[in-house]
Structure 1
Amino acid sequence: MSTDAIIVLMVIGAAVVLFATEWLSIDLVAILIMVTLTVTGVISTEEGLSGFSNPATITVAFMFVLSYALLKTGSLQRIGPYLGPIFKKNFNLGILIMMMFIGVVSAFINNTPIVAMFIPVMVSVANLSGYSPSKLLIPLSYASIFGGMCTMIGTSTNMLVSGIAVKNGLDDFPMFLSAPVGIVFIVVGAIYIYFFGKKLLPDRISEENLSKKFGMRDYLTEIEVLDESEFVGQRIMDSILATELEIDVIEVRRNGGTLFTLPPGDFVIKPKDVLKVRCDVEKIKALKDRLKVNFNTDAVRINENEIQKGDTSILELIITSGSEFEGKNLREMDFRRRYRAIPLAILHREEVVHENLHSVRLNAGDVILTEIKTHRLPNLKRQEMTQKSPFIVLSEEGVIDFNRKKFLTVFAVIAGVVGLATAGVIPIVMSTLLGAMVLVLSKTINMREVYESIEWKIIFLLAGALSLGVAMVNSGLASIISDFLVNELGNYGPVVILSGMYLTTSLLTEIMSNNASAALIAPIAITTADKLDVSPYPFLIAVMIAASASFMTPIGYHTNTMVYTAGQYRFRDFFRIGVWLNLGFWLIATFIIPLFYPF
């Protein structure tokens, strides 16, 4: 094994650990891969940076723009009111219709914003139809994954594999190359959920009382400031409440009537003020004599029926995958000043955090229970509808109206993009670029929105992943691994090797990025096909599909992460329903891929 191959192997090992542990963000890991491989001389500077100019990367960038434009029209939200009665009448039929709809839309639009938009819709549908949201949100995530498998623009992973293929001298993938397998998987997946979903999916009744759900009884109270209290006359930010005890003042009632909600840090405390605060009540009790306050724990309750009262509202904000909040804390994000909001609790996986909230490192899927000024809600919802929204608002209804004219324009543009690329009139990359420019020229969106809608985190991830693919070939590591596969499994035929590649890619996706998994295995697939003297397309289709087939864990695919906390799921819930889906898809893929794509 050459020195370059050893370096690439070490880089892969480090990358797997970093992807799996999430010590660093996935885009940073990808850039580190690119820099390391370039600095060590495994690939040239031009090869290292070529991922940014690769047609696959550019196509994905402008697909984000098309997705944003469609979401901005408010068209997808209109499906919610129609689903409720269907679910109420026939749960299984509702699941089937929802999954088919999401699957079709996800074939042409990035699935992350679709799932982000539909989480509150499906929670509302669940509440109206009398079912737990946990019965609906995993199927929502799975359906978006199924749909993304059907077209080249359905998910960035498909474009990544296509880009690696082109880099290795193969033709660009047609728009619907993976459609035969993707359609089979949509049908099989929907049938599986239809017959077994209701039984295998957990029935976690959503707690109507947010105070109970977030365990707020011991963390919300009212304190009355006595005349002799040491912080009388002080600003909140200068008082012991903020400087030593890290107590958040949510509300101040003065003279028995005047109410100041979410007071700013320079608000001056006066005698007899009654403060509604978020804190450890036991800490207040212990310091009662020193603080010179009276307190009343029973004065504060948070009820689902009163989430909007006066000029403040109680919201649940779910951190999205790729959010600017990911890996940061609320203090770094200047959360209170930026949103005029106070965090009450943070739900991280299955743990509720009440203390030191401003210092908690946030992950995708975490839920922030927060109190916010009601007049800020429209701005908050408009931000939620953007492609790069940092969170999903779970406890409020959407406020974006349906714009029929813009919807027809966007629909026509997306249809044109797909039609031109499918007919081979122009390459996919040029059709998506043309589509984005038509939307700008028609004033459906503006250039600022173009820049803001692109998920640069994914773009950097793709660029780094493509450089890893080049390094696999340049170093000879792909050839070494393919030699091993051919020598050990060659006698059993290409179908067995294809089956092994699918299974390996699928398992890697469960612990690391789907794009990284595809970038790792795709070069091996091409080299193996060359050594077997067979078509590389069956192997590449297997890698492409398997890289998206993450059903067993909430961390393997970003949409699973997004629904994890919203549905009050546990890790084992995904394994319980997803393991059979993974195994079934593996067996089906082993037989139908060679059927649709002969060797």
Structure 2
Amino acid sequence: MTADMLFVFATLATTIALFISDRMRMDLVALLVVVALSLSGIITPAEAVSGFGEPVVIMIAALFIVGEGLFRTGIAAAAGNWLLRVGGHDETRLLLLLLPMVALLSAFMSSTGAVALLIPVVLSIARRAGMQPSRLLMPLAFAALIGGMLTLIGTPPNIIVSSQMRSAGLEPFGFFDFTPLGLAILLVAMIYLIGPARRLLPSRTQAGAQETVPGIAALSDRYTLSRQLHKLMINPGSPLAQKTPAEAALRTEYEVTVIAISRSGGLLSSLIPVLSNTRMQYRDQLLVYADEQQLDQLCQTLKLSRLGFPAKEVSQLQRQFGVAEVLLPPESPLCGHSIKEGHFRERFGLSVIGLRREQTPQSTSFTASALKAGDTLLLAGSWDRIRELQGSRELVVLQTPAELAEIPTHSRRAPAALIILLLMLVSMTAGWLDNLSAILMAAVAMILSGCVGLKEAYRSFNATSLILIAGMLPLALAMERSGALDYMVQQLVSWVGSSSPLILCASLFLLTSVLSQFISNTATTVLVAPVALSTAQLLGINPEPVMMTVAIAASTAFATPIASPVNTLVLEPGNYRFADFARIGIPLQLLALILTLLLTPLLFPF
């Protein structure tokens, strides 16, 4: 063993130890690897930083932009809403929908791309369902990796082993030759991930999440308004018919604030109190803030009916309307005036629904409550109007609810974003463009079409994932350049060369799987596949089961966050640690090993 090989093995062992210890950020460890390799002389300094220009890193950066476009236009939220409608808030049902979906996508496109596209959807689901993203993202990543086992084009190792067989004059694998074994592993993996593995999954808040940001319900509780949102129907004979809310004096006489009107099942997109010419009609459903104690008398006087307010309709309302907590600064011209005199609807397009003074909720009177410096107000209205408050000189925005992060800022561009996504997927699946070109074009199209702003695109980059991948890629080159990888392969082959075919397959599986945890599965397959083929021919056995074993093993990159870009992508949003992948991934690797050894000889006899 040479000095270069010893250095590479020592670097690999130190890196793994630092990852496992969790005492240093993984992206910082990756940068230290880059520095160590550049100083070693095994690879040049330019090669040590070459990972930052690797196609996979550029592709992942572009996918972040595509995913941000889906989020900003509301497509991710819409997909999440559909999954929530079908799967409900039940973790098991959601996983039963998510895992086959991502596996199917990964069978025909890059698993990295499939996961990058679904991460915004999963984060949206987690926020809406009150779940931790860590409960969903790792199973999603593992299912994507297994999805690559389903077809010839699902993952590069499948193509490599097939090409190796063709080069040796043998019949290459067909498009669906991988499918029976891949489906069996996917089925068992789903049982494992939805069953025993769930007890091992961490429940951690998303890294960098604003845990202290309250939602609409919490802000309403702060102003004792949690039970004051109601839905009322205008009955025939009501004096409200054909009047605007202002003409009906709902706020001045009854202290009732109309937030929206539901007419013929469709929620109007503008706040009714803001529109002076909007007239109420019979059978309209008014969504109002009103005191519970006065509501019965109000309904009797104005001939209104109280209706239930199911959670689905509350959710629909909150997708268009929200609240914001603001502070009245001493220099504000609103000080000393009543809420009516403040003309909040005319100034801001928002309605005052709550008032706090000296941290105590106050009983508000639309005409009599004089505002003072230091008062905090709860304003309700459209999300667009709430965003515009940030530039106001008359109010200081103290708090916007957590739901604001879920509201798309470019919803009108949703059709464009959907077309861009479909064109990208079709181009990749049909082979019109290589993956990198298709994804780069989609990212640029997202920006040019207005689906995502340039600043939003830059903010979408997950720096931890990009640095971790780019920093670890040169280690694979150093292992190859120093001869360390070839040394490991030759040692294993010399040990199992005269053993039975099953032991050979088991050994090759373990070698390929272990190597794939630390270097790319593509590089691993390129190095191991020729050795596996030569060994099979030397022993006089059918190369198909041996090569199939190598291909499947290369996709079992479950045990470390650096094993695959797919794992690295979910690392930060899931707030995972190195040990989380080993604890859940190693049993899954063993299950894949057992299934491969049991089924491969049946599908491809020795």
1:584–1:415 Cα change, 3 Å: same
Question: Who is 1:548 aligned against?
Answer: 558
Question: Who is 1:467 aligned against?
Answer: 474
Aligned 1:140-179 pairs, distance under 5 A: 141-151=138-148
Question: Who is 1:6 aligned against?
Answer: 6
State which of 479, 487, 506 in structure 2 corresponds to 1:480.
Answer: 487
Question: Who is 1:454 aligned against?
Answer: 461
Once the two structures are superposed, residues 287-330 of structure 1 have per-residue CA deviations (whole angstroms, 9 ceiling, x without a partner) of xxxxxxxxxxxx99xxxxxxxx96699xxxxxxxxxxxxxxxxx
The secondary structure found in structure 1 opposite 2:24 is coil
User: How far apart are the structure 2 equivalents of 1:40 and 1:142?
Assistant: 38
The residue type equivalent to 1:24 in the other structure is: M
Contact 1:417 1:435 in 2 (8 A): yes
User: How far apart are the structure 2 equivalents of 1:61 and 1:85?
Assistant: 31
Question: Who is 2:253 aligned against?
Answer: none
1:203–1:408 Cα change, 3 Å: same
The residue type equivalent to 2:23 in the other structure is: W
The residue type equivalent to 1:462 in the other structure is: I
Most deviating of 476-485 and 492-501? 492-501
Question: Who is 1:53 aligned against?
Answer: 53
Which runs of no fewer than 5 residues in structure 1 stay unpaired?
Answer: 127-132, 212-259, 265-298, 301-308, 314-338, 340-371, 383-397
Q: CA deviation at 1:543?
A: 4.7
Question: Who is 2:399 aligned against?
Answer: 375
State which of 404, 408, 429 in structure 2 corresponds to 1:400.
Answer: 408
The secondary structure found in structure 1 opposite 2:498 is helix
Contact 1:64 1:455 in 2 (8 A): yes
Q: CA deviation at 1:92?
A: 5.7
CA RMSD of aligned residues (A): 5.5
Question: Who is 2:135 aligned against?
Answer: 138
Most deviating of 94-103 and 56-65? 94-103
The residue type equivalent to 1:142 in the other structure is: P
Contact 1:75 1:407 in 2 (8 A): yes
Question: Who is 1:418 aligned against?
Answer: 425
The secondary structure found in structure 2 opposite 1:548 is coil
Once the two structures are superposed, residues 258-284 of structure 1 have per-residue CA deviations (whole angstroms, 9 ceiling, x without a partner) of xx99999xxxxxxxxxxxxxxxxxxxx
1:481–1:71 Cα change, 3 Å: same
User: How far apart are the structure 2 equivalents of 1:22 and 1:147?
Assistant: 26
Question: Who is 1:29 aligned against?
Answer: 29
1:42–1:563 Cα change, 3 Å: closer
Once the two structures are superposed, residues 348-387 of structure 1 have per-residue CA deviations (whole angstroms, 9 ceiling, x without a partner) of xxxxxxxxxxxxxxxxxxxxxxxx9753447x954xxxxx
1:55–1:561 Cα change, 3 Å: closer
The residue type equivalent to 1:111 in the other structure is: V
Contact 1:312 1:373 in 2 (8 A): no
Q: CA deviation at 1:486?
A: 0.3
1:200–1:113 Cα change, 3 Å: same
Which runs of no fewer than 5 residues in structure 2 stay unpaired?
Answer: 168-172, 206-210, 213-324, 330-358, 361-374, 380-389, 391-395, 538-542, 562-566
Larger Rg: 2
Contact 2:15 2:33 in 1 (8 A): yes
Question: Who is 1:443 aligned against?
Answer: 450
1:406–1:62 Cα change, 3 Å: same
User: How far apart are the structure 1 equivalents of 2:551 and 2:599?
Assistant: 11
1:428–1:98 Cα change, 3 Å: closer
Once the two structures are superposed, residues 456-507 of structure 1 have per-residue CA deviations (whole angstroms, 9 ceiling, x without a partner) of 4333333333211111121111121111110112233676455445446767
User: How far apart are the structure 2 equivalents of 1:162 and 1:461?
Assistant: 26
Question: Who is 1:290 aligned against?
Answer: none
Contact 1:175 1:428 in 2 (8 A): no
User: How far apart are the structure 1 equivalents of 2:485 and 2:20?
Assistant: 22
Matched, 1:111 2:115: yes
The secondary structure found in structure 2 opposite 1:445 is coil
Matched, 1:525 2:528: yes
The secondary structure found in structure 1 opposite 2:432 is coil
User: How far apart are the structure 1 equivalents of 2:174 and 2:61?
Assistant: 18
Aligned 1:429-440 pairs, distance under 5 A: 429-440=436-447
Contact 1:119 1:563 in 2 (8 A): no
Question: Who is 2:73 aligned against?
Answer: 73
The residue type equivalent to 2:475 in the other structure is: L
1:456–1:119 Cα change, 3 Å: closer
The residue type equivalent to 1:54 in the other structure is: E
Contact 1:30 1:460 in 2 (8 A): yes
User: How far apart are the structure 1 equivalents of 2:503 and 2:404?
Assistant: 50
User: How far apart are the structure 2 equivalents of 1:455 and 1:65?
Assistant: 10
The residue type equivalent to 2:446 in the other structure is: L
The residue type equivalent to 1:548 in the other structure is: F
Contact 1:11 1:33 in 2 (8 A): yes
Once the two structures are superposed, residues 75-128 of structure 1 have per-residue CA deviations (whole angstroms, 9 ceiling, x without a partner) of 2223455555655699865542344345556746463684565356346447xx
Contact 2:508 2:549 in 1 (8 A): yes
Aligned 1:104-253 pairs, distance under 5 A: 107=111, 109=113, 111=115, 114-115=118-119, 118-119=122-123, 121-122=125-126, 124-125=128-129, 133=131, 138=135, 141-151=138-148, 184-192=184-192, 196=195
The secondary structure found in structure 2 opposite 1:68 is helix
1:121–1:451 Cα change, 3 Å: closer
The residue type equivalent to 2:34 in the other structure is: M
User: How far apart are the structure 1 equivalents of 2:549 and 2:117?
Assistant: 30
The residue type equivalent to 1:42 in the other structure is: I
User: How far apart are the structure 1 equivalents of 2:452 and 2:440?
Assistant: 14
The residue type equivalent to 1:8 in the other structure is: V
Once the two structures are superposed, residues 35-55 of structure 1 have per-residue CA deviations (whole angstroms, 9 ceiling, x without a partner) of 322322111344334333333
Contact 2:157 2:522 in 1 (8 A): yes
The secondary structure found in structure 2 opposite 1:547 is coil
Q: CA deviation at 1:515?
A: 5.5
1:434–1:11 Cα change, 3 Å: same
User: How far apart are the structure 1 equivalents of 2:328 and 2:482?
Assistant: 61
Q: CA deviation at 1:174?
A: 13
- TM-score (structure 2 length as normaliser): 0.51
The residue type equivalent to 1:141 in the other structure is: M
1:99–1:505 Cα change, 3 Å: same
User: How far apart are the structure 1 equivalents of 2:128 and 2:60?
Assistant: 31
User: How far apart are the structure 1 equivalents of 2:574 and 2:70?
Assistant: 22
Aligned residues: 402
The secondary structure found in structure 2 opposite 1:43 is coil
- TM-score (structure 1 length as normaliser): 0.52
Contact 1:62 1:436 in 2 (8 A): yes
User: How far apart are the structure 1 equivalents of 2:603 and 2:327?
Assistant: 61
